[in-house]
Structure 1
Amino acid sequence: MRNDDSKAARILFGYDRLRKGFVLNKEDLADEFKVTQKTIQRDLNEIRAYIAERYIGEAVRYDTRQKGYRLVNNGGKPVSAIEVFALVKIVLESRAFNKSEMDALLNAVCGMASKPERKAFNDLILNEKFHYEPVTHGKPLLELIWDIGQCIMKKEVIEIGYTIMNGEERRRIVYPLAVVFSEFYFYLIAKFEDSEYNDPTFFRVDRIDSVKRLGRTHAYRRFEDGELKKRVQFMYGGELVRLRFLFRGPSLEAILDRFPTAVILRKDERGTVIEAEVFGKGCLIWLLGQGKQVELLGPEPLREEFRQMIRAMNEIYL
């Protein structure tokens, strides 16, 4: 192997290990590559200069406790095991990925912690990882989500093959606007091409069988994912509705967390009157589950539809 090749291999190896959260020890690297520690130090200096130039807020620093060099970020603060643990707990609780993708995600996230921390950390999640049960579709999603994300960023018009709930296959030409996660599933939020309606349509990503780029872009305005999520309940599409209801339950905080757009209109002996903006009628599912704690006040057409739902349910149990 030529010297130039050896140097390139060392630098790429060191950079890759730093990116994965490993600590680099000069003595160990010198033994592995059969070079002097001064040579390894020069390699580290080049990696350090490259990262300092290309990545704002990241740097290669010597860790006296670990006796080696590591990549730090967040203003010099390395990712802690506590932060990694929180991320993994959220990912595991989502149940959104099949087992192979979940294992890959866990390995990637765990690699951000130091070696001693990873051991303690793995012990903490071992039982949850063993008993992990993904949602039933079992499809790989990461690559599909990434591909759709690229189309969103470039405003590309796409044709999707999609399987609806009854098993029928459909093809739709859409403007992809956002990908969001809610209640175990990822959703593509999109607008039908040539549709007179501006209201968003939702497609569960695991039901998308194919994505075809049509080689053209759209001029539809950028969709604000965060603003949309504030107004969407259970990923039901539809018109924007100004919901008004009376809450008589014990935990007002839980209501405000469920409806981020909620505004308290008044409080009295009857309860708290709340107004919130929501898309579509998914909110009715939640309202049914609240029993006598919630009374839907308006709008009147939605209140009437809610009455009919309650009557239909009541007839089942008569």
Structure 2
Amino acid sequence: MEFVEENDKKRDADEEISIERLTIYRILDLYNLINKETQFNKGVFAEDSGASERTVRRDIKCLNDYFKRNYENKGSIGVYREINYCRKDNVYKVNLRGDCDFSESDIYAFTKVIIQSRAFTSKEIRRILSILASQVKDASVIKEIIEKEELYYVEPQHKKDIIDLLWIMRKSIERCKQVEFDYTRADGKKKRHVVNPIAIVFNEYYFYIVSEIEKGSSKIEIPFRVDRIKNYKETNKNSTYPYGRFEEEKYRKKVQFMYTGDFKTIEFEFFGDSIEAVLDRLPTAEIIEKTDKCYKARAEIYGEGVKRWILSQKEFLKVTKPQEYVEEIKETIRRMYDLYNV
């Protein structure tokens, strides 16, 4: 009896080894196939190997995991292979991916960012997304994703193509040329400006050209929304602002929402759940104390834009310093209250 049980165990072990070997042989066959061919039919391979198509899918995933792991273990340098399904041709294709190649996941991420920025007109978006889709060898899947994203895209209200104008502005900055243009403010007032262009930045749906203008005996930096600019052209004069001196990173940290105003350092208390969101919104902010009730923080800002954001935080944020800024916010709140106290 014991002898029979031992034989059964040995037979089961041999069968398990045999199944494991068949799996290894099948994966090796698949590996040899993609070394010879750039594409293959999953159904044909399954039939030839005596496995189900579901099993072959697992084998493909196994190889893709191996290629990726081997690539990452080498410090993500060089080129690695990836087996992807092409719905159009109903075959699996072997794509080479390198450090400078776009994958479908890369294109998808870029598409989401560009779409949600809402910075461009529908015509410009179609062109940009078409260029992105052309960067992957098998564009069938990503094209379908892009078409869905594009279908629900809401273009900005100004409906002005700005991509070519951005490039012209960049050249003016690089050549250190003074420029002039007609500008329409948010309140509808129009004015001709002559400025020293400094840099182009993007913030909250819009592109801005940061420019230096003379105000009395001093010079100040003001952001102009690109879509509100007309009749842009270079003058015969050179810009007095040296090319390359502008530090965009420091500027963006202090100028939130692209509103002008006096530069100041404020302190505030935050009572909400996510202090991380506040620190992301105000890059110059730093926590100076944490209590049981709130976070206390300090930030360098230009007043008007941040004031509008502060008021949107309702009862979860309270400015404590400087006192004149506190009074300015109080006065704004009083005017807001009067709108509803009718």
Partner of 1:211: 232
Q: Give per-residue Cα distances to partners, 1:43-65, cap 9 Å, x unaligned.
A: xxxxxxxxxxxxxxxx9x99897
- Residue aligned with 1:270, SS: coil
Structure possessing the higher radius of gyration over alpha carbons: 2
Match of 2:294 among 271, 296, 309: 271
Partner secondary structure for residue 223 of structure 2: strand
* Aligned with residue 264 of structure 2, among 230, 241, 251: 241
Aligned to 2:133: 110
CA distance in 1, matches of 2:215, 2:178: 12
Q: Which residue identity lines up with residue 87 of structure 1 in the other structure?
A: F
- RMSD over aligned CA atoms reads 2.3
Q: Deviations over 1:16-73 (max 9, x none)?
A: xxxxxxxxxxxxxxxxxxxxxxxxxxxxxxxxxxxxxxxxxxx9x99897689x8x86
The secondary structure found in structure 2 opposite 1:173 is strand
Q: Does 1:166 align with 2:187?
A: yes
Residues 79-119 of structure 1 deviation map (CA, whole Å, 9 limit, x = unaligned): 2111111111111111111111111111111111113xx11
Asked if 1:141 is matched to 2:156, the reply is no
Aligned length: 253
Tell whether 2:215 aligns with 1:230: no
Identity %: 31
Which of 319, 322, 329 is the equivalent residue of 1:296? 319
Which 4+ residue blocks in structure 1 deviate beyond 4 angstroms?
A: 61-68
Report the Cα distance in structure 2 between the residues aligned to 1:298 and 1:63, rounded to whole angstroms: 57
Alignment match, 1:308: 331
Residue identity matched to 1:133: V
1:246 aligned counterpart, secondary structure: strand
1:1-318 residue pairs with structure 2 within 5 A? 74=99, 77-115=100-138, 118-193=139-214, 196-221=217-242, 222-318=245-341
TM-score normalised by length of structure 1? 0.74
Q: Is the 8 A contact 1:200 1:238 kept in 2?
A: no
Q: Gapped runs of 5+ residues in structure 1?
A: 1-58
SS of residue in 2 equivalent to 1:200: strand
Whole-angstrom CA distance in 1 between matches of 2:157 and 2:313: 27
Cα distance change, pair 169–271 in 1 and its aligned pair in 2 (3 A): same
Q: Structure 2 length normalisation: TM-score?
A: 0.69
Q: Secondary structure at the match of 1:281?
A: helix
Amino acid in the other structure paired with 1:275? R
Query: Taking structure 1 as reference, are residues 274 and 194 closer, same or farther at Cα in structure 2, changes over 3 Å only?
Result: closer
Q: Which amino acid counterpart does residue 125 of structure 2 have in structure 1?
A: M
Amino acid in structure 1 at the alignment position of 2:196: Y
Q: Give the Cα separation in 1 of the matches to 2:200 and 2:322.
A: 29
Alpha-carbon spacing, 1:195–1:140, altered in 2? closer, same or farther (3 Å): farther
Structure 2 match to 1:8: none
Shift of 1:133: 1.1
SS of 1:172's equivalent in the other structure is strand
SS of corresponding position for 1:220:
coil
Q: Which amino acid aligns with 1:257?
A: D
- Answer yes or no: is the 8 Å Cα contact 1:199–1:239 preserved in 2: no
Unaligned runs of 5+ in 2: 1-77, 84-92
**Which residue is 1:18 aligned to?**
none
2:44 aligned residue:
none
Displacement of 1:229: 1.1
Matched residue SS, 1:112:
coil
Relative distance call for 1:194 and 1:257 in structure 2 (3 A) is closer
Q: Tell me the SS of whatever aligns to 1:226.
A: helix
- SS at 2:304 equivalent: coil
Judge conservation of contact 1:201–1:238 (CA < 8 Å) in 2: no
Contact map agreement 1:187 1:204 (CA 8 A) in 2: yes
CA gap 1:64/1:317 in 2 versus in 1, 3 angstroms: closer
